Structure 1
Amino acid sequence: MTLGELTLFLLIGFAGFQFWRIRSISEAAFEHARLYCDTHHLQLLTLARRSTRLTFKYAKPDWHSRFEFEFSGNGEDRYTGEMEMVGKRVLRTQLPPYRV
């Protein structure tokens, strides 16, 4: 095995690890949005990641992700909320005014 092959295998392994890391962040975001909606008596409709970038917040490199989720307060209307995370830590959750 040459140094080039070893480097290639390490890069492929690192890319795979980051893929699974981003997937686990998305699953944590879904769980947080679901619990947030349950706590506030809302119906969670959809969740989508808007952006992901590398950040060095909290003294270590991690992914800074922004999510949008749609929810309903009365079962008829649809509103869009935003959630911001670093790693699996939620920084903020913001919702517009909605009808109950």
Structure 2
Amino acid sequence: MTLLELVVWLTLGFTGYQFWRIRAISEHAYSYLKRYCDTHQLQLLSVARAKTRFSFQFGKPDWHSTFNFEFSSNGEDRYSGEAELVGLRVIRTEVPPHRV
């Protein structure tokens, strides 16, 4: 095995690991938002990752992701909220004023 082959395999492995890391963050965000909506008696309609970038917050390199989600409070209206995560840590969750 040459050095070039080793570098290619390491790059492929690192890329694959980062792909699965971002998938794990997305799944964690969905489960968090599902619990959040259940706790506040809201219906979660959809979740989408809006932005992901690399950051060095909290003393380690990790992915800083922003998720947009839609929810309903009465089954007829639709509202949009935003959740921000660094790695698996939830930084903030914003929801607009909505009918109860």
In the alignment, the residues of structure 1 paired with residue 99 and residue 45 of structure 2 have an alpha-carbon distance, to the nearest angstrom, of 15
1:76 alignment counterpart: 76
Q: State the Cα deviation string for residues 31-53 of structure 1 (Å, max 9, x = none).
A: 00000000000000000000000
The reply on whether 1:88 has 2:82 as its aligned counterpart is: no
Q: Which consecutive unaligned segments of at least 5 residues does structure 2 have? A: none
Identity %: 63
1:58 alignment counterpart: 58
CA RMSD of aligned residues (A): 0.3
Q: Which consecutive unaligned segments of at least 5 residues does structure 1 have? A: none
SS of 1:97's partner is: coil
- Structure 1 residue 88, shift from structure 2 partner: 0.3
Q: How many residues align?
A: 100
The reply on whether 1:18 has 2:18 as its aligned counterpart is: yes
TM-score by length of 2: 0.99
**After TM superposition, where is structure 1 displaced by more than 6 Å over at least 4 residues in a row?**
none
- Structure 1 residue 99, shift from structure 2 partner: 1.2
SS of 1:9's partner is: helix
TM-score by length of 1: 0.99
- Structure 1 residue 3, shift from structure 2 partner: 0.1
